[in-house]
Amino acid sequence: MTMEIEIVARETIKPSSPTPQHPTNFNFSLIDQNAPVMYTPLLLFYPQNNHPSRPTQRSQHLKTSLSKLLPKFYPLAGIMKERTTIECNDNGAEYVEAQVNCNLSDILDQPDASMLRSFLPVEIESEEADTGCLLFIQANFFKCGGMVIGVCISHKIADTETLSMVLNSWSQVAISGSSDGVKFPEFNAASIFPPSDSKPHITIPHHDGVITKRVVFESSKIVSLKAKATGATVQQPTRVEAVTALIWKCMINISKSSKGFPRLSLISHVANLRKRIEPPLPENCIGNIVGTLFAAISTEKETDLQGLVCELRKEITEFKKTGLQKIKDEKRTWLKMCEIENFLGRDDVDYYMFTSWCRFPLYEVDFGWGKPTWVTLPSLIFKDTVFMVDARDGEGVEALVSLSKEDMALFEADQELLEFATVNPKVAI
């Protein structure tokens, strides 16, 4: 299928009213400072039958409601300043309108993660994420009347909780016509995690030949997988733990097959810190309020799902005990605290980065024409990463796995993986 996208409009959406009387600069926290230079992307798919209005009407609806939202999320309308703060100057958010020359079903029948990047308003890895506009929106309208909303928000100000809050607040404004019912976000992360004097510039490594494949675990398969992953130590693994363990096991098998000698297999997972702080932070506290936990195992010995879940749970428990306090006391990233950087780049170490977006209400984002039929991410250019998002029923899991071409061929043929998951099935409307 040949898909063509025509950009028909591009404009800056200004806040509907001036920034409230708050400090003119939004200061980054320590964790914000160490966030990589990139935009966090998201794609929301809406079928035609939920919105009979014309594209121009829907587009105006999105722009008007976004303008009304920005006064409450006023840092998003600012610009980056010297990599340490956001100047809250009502500069606005960038909005792009595009027309697509095919039907939405053409995309959903066999989703192509690389092609999905075309629905985003800016390159994920753009250096502008560290210097310019913080929020970009692209509304893509299909011949059939379906649409895709592509969102890119600077990682310097937003973790997944923040992104989810922005989108759900925006949809609330779109439904009600007013921002009166939207809570003001909390902007106090820098007081909890004071920034350092340095100005880190952490870029995303670019890897050629990376392939991203979508792997879907249906809810019934999740039940079976969790049962297989249950052991004496972890009797009730979560679905994220079970899926992580299975994919990790596949990665270990790939490494043994292609490299053939014992290695250390290391994985990381991102954890939301809001509820772990005493007293807990409100969920509407924006920024990167996350930590990273690590689990490792030697490939010299045979590994099974139960053992990998046990190792993962052990590190989760340890992180809950000590991770937060070390970030606050030592003012260091979790990566440096664990001295994991000593392992990275070594010939005898494999490192895989996992991120779970499960349990975030991304399927609740309704602008007035119904909830999305599919929520996903496009392909990424950094390899050995796994992003997990909810399936539409809230019980299944969709994993976006990025590997080298050679490793991907082995991964998608793994029989234990295929026992519980399907590689890139059709998305039902």
Active centre residues (catalytic): 155, 366
User: Among 303, 307, 222, 318, which Cα is nearest to 269's?
Assistant: 318
Q: Which ranges in 230-322 belong to alpha helices (H)? A: 239-259, 305-318
Phi, psi of 405 (to 5 degrees): -55, -40
CA distance 265 to 260: 13
CA distance 128 to 200: 15
SS3 content of the chain, % helix, strand, coil (to 5): 35, 25, 40
CA distance 186 to 389: 25
- Sheet containing strand 349-356, edge to edge, reads 290-298, 264-272, 349-356, 385-390, 397-404, 210-217, 422-423
C-beta of residue 124 within 8 angstroms of C-beta of residue 387: no
CA distance 171 to 393: 20
Cis peptide before 121, with omega less than 30 degrees from 0? no
Residue in this structure with the two tokens 């937060």, named with its chain if needed: 324
Q: Which ranges in 82-159 belong to alpha helices (H)? A: 104-108
